[in-house]
Structure 1
């Protein structure tokens, strides 16, 4: 079953494993999504199934 979790509940290593096929989106998710949350610029939720990151939504 797919769960939507806040970004801060996803370990960094799991974020690094994510690959959507678009390097720009992969880089944003791994490098900048958490920073943008801390700055109040974005709120990110992550689709997870059995510990695997499937996607994210801002």
Structure 2
């Protein structure tokens, strides 16, 4: 898999996590523990994307 393809894949996963986070936050009884975990996953993806992008330059 090329770096560009990996970045696209991670970007898609990042957007999906963002959608999931938004849905959870709209719930009247949002699960704080689940939100924290989702946000941590999203941050890890963002960091990995940043590392891959820096290799391309």
**Length-normalised TM-score, structure 1:** 0.31
Q: In proportion to residue count, which structure has more strand?
A: 1
Using CA pairs under 8 Å that are at least 6 residues apart, name the structure with larger relative contact order, 1 or 2.
Answer: 2
Q: Which structure's CA Rg is the greater one?
A: 2
Q: In proportion to residue count, which structure has more helix?
A: 2
